[in-house]
Amino acid sequence: MSSLTTKTLIQSALFPVVLGLMLFLPAWTLDYWQAWVYCLILLAAVMGTSVYLLRNDPALLERRLKGGESGETEQRQRIGQTVAGVLYLTSFIIPGLDHRFHWSTVPIYLSLAADVCVALAFYIVFLVFKENSYTSSIIEVYTDQQVISTGPYCIVRHPMYAGVELLFFATPIALGSFWALLLVIPLSIIIVLRLLDEERFLAEHLPGYADYRQATRYRLIPFIW
């Protein structure tokens, strides 16, 4: 087994475990069905995507694993990634506390509908990985990189961020917490600022990207923006 395979499988297996601890410890109970369903969806999505990339695009997987704020070259991006990471982790702690202290009352059908949206968000991200082998977790351009305008990229210019935004909005409801939705606002602002910064960078360093922006009108949400 290669080191990349070992590292990928370990991280893919550990992430849902860590997420479970962040949900169940604040909830102080295992009687939290919303968290169980969410963790199962996440485990299936992460493991499925990881296995696909190991078999079909290990180079992309390696680029994704090297990401995070430490991989960014500009300070504002490192700061943005750090803040987003803290907010993202907090978005799992609050639902656990919400479940424990009964701050919210989210109908079962609404949580289940949000679970469907969570699965859809992961599927959108998977389609991005499948279509674009240059999908790095940091803002960069490779020497042989080309503009991708097919698949989800023919709908919006940043389908990865579109999937992430859907995940941000659906996660609190899937976990049974209305209060955690408050974190979606700053997370969305960070996504938009990063998106705009990335567009400026790609327009300067990726040949053909300016023409692609003209051909694909919407950045994040079809028919809106």
Tell me: the pLDDT tens digits for 196-223?
998 998 888 888 998 999 999 999 999 8
Contact 4, 61 (CB under 8 A): yes
For position 220, what pLDDT does the model report? 93
Contact 4, 62 (CB under 8 A): yes
Mean pLDDT of 136-141: 74
For position 67, what pLDDT does the model report? 57
Contact 34, 99 (CB under 8 A): yes
For the beta carbon of residue 125, count every other beta carbon within 10 angstroms.
22
- Which amino acid makes up residue 143? T
For position 3, what pLDDT does the model report? 78
The residue that leads in pLDDT, 138 or 69, is: 138
Helix (H/G/I), strand (E/B), else coil: 166: helix
Using a pLDDT cut of 70, give the percent of the chain over it.
Answer: 95
Query: According to the per-residue pLDDT averaged within each range, which of 5-9, 69-73, 91-95, 147-151 is highest?
Result: 91-95
* Average model confidence (pLDDT) across the chain: 89
Cα–Cα dist 122/116, whole Å? 10
In the structure encoding, which two tokens stand for residue 61, read together? 């997987």
Instruction: Domain 3-215: give its CATH architecture.
Output: Up-down Bundle (1.20)
- For residue 156, CA distances in Å to 22, 84, 142, 197, 213 come to 33, 22, 22, 16, 10
For position 69, what pLDDT does the model report? 44
| pLDDT tens string 67-112 | 544 556 667 777 878 888 899 889 999 999 999 999 999 999 999 9
| pLDDT tens string 10-43 | 877 788 788 989 999 999 999 999 999 999 999 9
- The pTM is what? 0.90
